[in-house]
Structure 1
Amino acid sequence: MRCAFSHHTDYQRQKETHPYVQAVHALTDIVEYRGRNPILYPDFIFIQTKIGKKFFKYCKFVHSVAERVINRRRETLQKECVSSRKFLDLVDILLTAKDENGDGLTPLEIRNEANTFMFEGHDTTSSAISWILYSLAEHMDVQNKVRIEVDSIMEDRQTDDLQWDDLSHLEYLGMVIKEGMRQHCPVPVVARQLTKDFQIDGHVFPSGTSVAVDIYMLHHNEEVWERPMEFIPERFSKENASKIGPFQFIPFSAGPRNCIGQNFAMNEVKVVLAKLVHRYKFELEPNHIPRKRASLVMRAANGILLRVSSR
């Protein structure tokens, strides 16, 4: 929130009780439930149900949170000289962006982009970090390689704060993160609506058809990936990355409607994991295997339990 919106919050201190966090979790659960219940597919039925009314109530609330943040930034921009600022946050960019005709984004378009950062940005990154830590605990050799790389950057420093230039040097950690996102898929499925007729294997799907792209299945397809169930960070090395097709690895979706925050998210995950591995050692909790629960975000149905010790 601070990086993207210059907005200070204490959401992380009220993880289970903050109304915004509760609303986001409720909305994802409702969407998942509706997707498995054909009776609720028609809007005119859904809006009459108790769960439908709850859905729109929470939608109204999360939209209001985004609008408050946007309006606060708009008021700030009106008082400041934008060109004199050292940097612009996400909302600043959205508010000041103009096309070749000098037209800016509409309030709805700005809110939609802000919602993507706020709604999806916190849940997906925490999912990725949690599952990658589990994989590091599973594969101590990989964890040790990450630690050696991080320690080489952190040595002789008074703090463990990473600098911007450090991120490009954490190459192996970047490979680990990509392999974690391939194996665990923070966003397991994305949906799209066809804007023109589309043909697959002789079958024509007409314009307007809603389709789902199962990212989890793609990332575990034996015809696409060699040994897909194994955790192998080296498949994303510089030598091997050139062999990966543009639509083979799509943790942030792909094409013109891919995730607006993917670079932000990758850097966020890299910073958090680097600092954690530098400070702590992670080991598996015996007799506990987390069970994946695919919703809008990949969760663990029974939690991810690890043993953590200070280095």
Structure 2
Amino acid sequence: MILLTLLIGAVVFSIILIIQHVHRYKQWSKVTAKITSFEPWHPIWGNLHLVNDMADFFKLVLVMVEKTKAKLLCGWVMFLYPVFSTCHPDTAKILLKSSEPKVKYNLGGVYRMILPWLGDGLLLSDGKKWERNRRLLTPAFHFDILRPYVQIYNDVANIFLEKVQKACDSKEAIEIYSHVSLATLDTMLRCSLSYTGQVQEKGDSHPYVQAVRRLGSLSVQRTLSPWLYPDVLFWLSPSGREYKRLIDYVHEFADEIIASRRKALTEKDINKTAGKRLDFLDILITAKDENGEGLNDQDIRAEVDTFLFEGHDTTASAISWAIYCLAKYPEEQEKVYQEVTSVLDSRPQVSWEDLNQLKYTSMFLKEVLRMHSPVPFISRWLTKPLVLDGVEIPAHFQVDILIHAINHHPDVWPDHMEFRPSRFENETRQERDPYTYIPFSAGSRNCIGQNFAVNEEKVMISALVKRFKVELVEGHVYEEYPEVVMRAKYGIKIKVTQR
């Protein structure tokens, strides 16, 4: 009798859930009918059958944007729920100017997939916690802190160039993306944690680089696999077990560095150490808010994990695609080379004062970031209804901001497939909406480390062109592969000759 009662109760409960979902489905369908949607639509898969990965998704998006000039797109995750995407400055800036949080808890949200890895740091936190931590970490990116990093950029670039020199001497092609990733990780570890572990010398065998690369892939794969949305199913799956093993490693890697620094700080107060350069971790450990409270161990690790990932992976993407563009557009490479040699004269390294003098190099890098967006998309979670392009999107929905699509929207960039750095000349005199170009996001949650990243990119590219001429490798396929960052599906191979 008890079993029968439970069975009846379960059936009734299931029927209620189905009726509720059908009711919501009808409401959502009325909303999505007003928005440009992906086609064809499947009654079971929704639009998931159209894409195998994020590369397929962005190809579909760019075709639709070119064809329809849409500012807002909609797609369905199976028959479960719709996902909305802004692909134009007019719709993106409404979200970016709002205080809507990141998508941490929605079942299919990509940020939920990386939360166990990066924790509740600046990238994912919101509300009072985000405001407090942003305020505490801002001093870590003051000009006085950034200035001495230029020498570290140069030191890291020298090691990187020695690897390129070997390829030059042997007249063999070199896959540059993997080497750049090691260099930017080396930079982040040295600048933010004062850690020197021969990252570049150890090569691609360094487990941290491999772990971060794989964690990003697993996170995106999960967003496209609704059957892995429930945590219990994900952690039991092969990819979930691999994910757990990798995050255990990256957390242990960070914890060891943090523990070592805490011990050093108890032995000798860094504030009393004459001439000591404060790095990111020093500031994390010693920072206090207005109530005299600092960050706890979990907060510190979340910020370290966030900055190690964001600081090396996105910058590696930017530098790698910049090298690709140097090779693909030799006339642009020559302009960058002429400027670098003119500014540096006979000096071997870039100085802090040189950075602002590299004006054409800055324009070149901005066009690289537009053409090959290092962060292809970001997301927000609606806590209340929001009107986008004349359509009211209900609360409790994910809305993606497709930065890569905005950078290629024909309304904003009519010649978007043409690589032309001069479009960023005299930016202050142009009437372009600032939200048309958001490689580092925009609004209050813009990237806190953007000056750090741009300075590093300038030094690396300047060092490379000053010493080598780069060319593409005939027959190699150069293809964008968007994941959490914009990667190259088959790597970026180049040939180099000595200048």
> Do the structures match in fold with TM over 0.5?
yes
1:236 paired residue number? 424
2:400 paired residue number? 212
Larger Rg: 2
- Deviation readout 1:139-188 (Å, 9 max, x if unpaired): 2221111111110122233xx21111111111111111111011011121
2:309 paired residue number? 119
| 1:65 equivalenced with 2:65 (yes/no) | no
Q: State how 1:35-74 maps to structure 2 within 5 Å.
A: 35-74=223-262
| 1:8 equivalenced with 2:196 (yes/no) | yes
Q: Which amino acid aligns with 1:16?
A: D
Q: Which amino acid aligns with 2:482?
A: A
2:148 paired residue number? none
1:80 paired residue number? 269
Match of 2:331 among 127, 135, 141: 141
Greater shift in the superposed pair: 295-304 or 99-108? 99-108
2:360 paired residue number? 172
Deviation of 1:250 (Å): 1.6
Q: Which amino acid aligns with 1:133?
A: I
> Does the 8 Å CA contact 2:385/2:392 hold for their aligned counterparts?
no
Distance 1:296 1:62 in 2: 17
> Does the 8 Å CA contact 2:378/2:402 hold for their aligned counterparts?
yes
Q: Which amino acid aligns with 1:135?
A: C
Q: State how 1:1-311 maps to structure 2 within 5 Å.
A: 1-78=189-266, 79-83=268-272, 84-157=274-347, 160-200=348-388, 201-206=390-395, 208-239=396-427, 242-311=430-499
Question: Structure 1 residue runs of 4+, over 6 Å off?
Answer: none
Greater shift in the superposed pair: 13-22 or 162-171? 13-22
Q: Secondary structure of the equivalent of 2:361?
A: helix
Distance 2:430 2:203 in 1: 40
Distance 1:12 1:196 in 2: 47
2:84 paired residue number? none
Instruction: Give the aligned CA root-mean-square deviation in angstroms.
Output: 1.9
Q: Which amino acid aligns with 2:300?
A: I
Distance 2:284 2:405 in 1: 34
Residues 197/88 of structure 1: CA separation in 2 closer, same or farther (3 Å cut): farther
Deviation of 1:119 (Å): 1.7
Greater shift in the superposed pair: 143-152 or 117-126? 117-126
> Does the 8 Å CA contact 2:378/2:400 hold for their aligned counterparts?
yes
> Does the 8 Å CA contact 1:15/1:21 hold for their aligned counterparts?
no
Gaps of 5+ in 2: 1-188
Greater helix proportion: 2
Distance 1:260 1:128 in 2: 17
Deviation of 1:195 (Å): 4.5
- Deviation readout 1:72-130 (Å, 9 max, x if unpaired): 22222221341544431111122222222222223232222211221232222222111
Q: Secondary structure of the equivalent of 2:487?
A: strand
> Does the 8 Å CA contact 2:344/2:354 hold for their aligned counterparts?
no
Q: Secondary structure of the equivalent of 2:204?
A: coil
Q: Secondary structure of the equivalent of 1:15?
A: helix
Relative contact order, CA 8 A, sep 6+: which one is greater?
A: 2
Greater shift in the superposed pair: 232-241 or 275-284? 232-241
> Does the 8 Å CA contact 1:235/1:241 hold for their aligned counterparts?
no
> Does the 8 Å CA contact 1:131/1:184 hold for their aligned counterparts?
yes
Distance 2:443 2:421 in 1: 25
Deviation of 1:215 (Å): 1.2
Deviation of 1:202 (Å): 2.6
Q: Secondary structure of the equivalent of 1:47?
A: helix
Distance 1:244 1:67 in 2: 45
> Does the 8 Å CA contact 1:11/1:21 hold for their aligned counterparts?
no
Distance 2:317 2:451 in 1: 16
Q: Secondary structure of the equivalent of 1:174?
A: helix
> Does the 8 Å CA contact 2:328/2:472 hold for their aligned counterparts?
yes
Distance 1:99 1:228 in 2: 45
Distance 2:228 2:236 in 1: 10
User: Number of residues paired by the alignment?
Assistant: 308
Distance 2:428 2:416 in 1: 15
Q: Which amino acid aligns with 1:205?
A: P
Q: Which amino acid aligns with 2:223?
A: G
Distance 1:254 1:305 in 2: 33
Q: Which amino acid aligns with 1:104?
A: G
Greater shift in the superposed pair: 213-222 or 281-290? 281-290
TM-score (norm 2): 0.59
Residues 193/175 of structure 1: CA separation in 2 closer, same or farther (3 Å cut): same
Distance 1:127 1:61 in 2: 23
Deviation of 1:31 (Å): 0.9
Residues 74/305 of structure 1: CA separation in 2 closer, same or farther (3 Å cut): same
Greater shift in the superposed pair: 78-87 or 301-310? 78-87
- Deviation readout 1:31-51 (Å, 9 max, x if unpaired): 121111111122232122121
TM-score (norm 1): 0.92
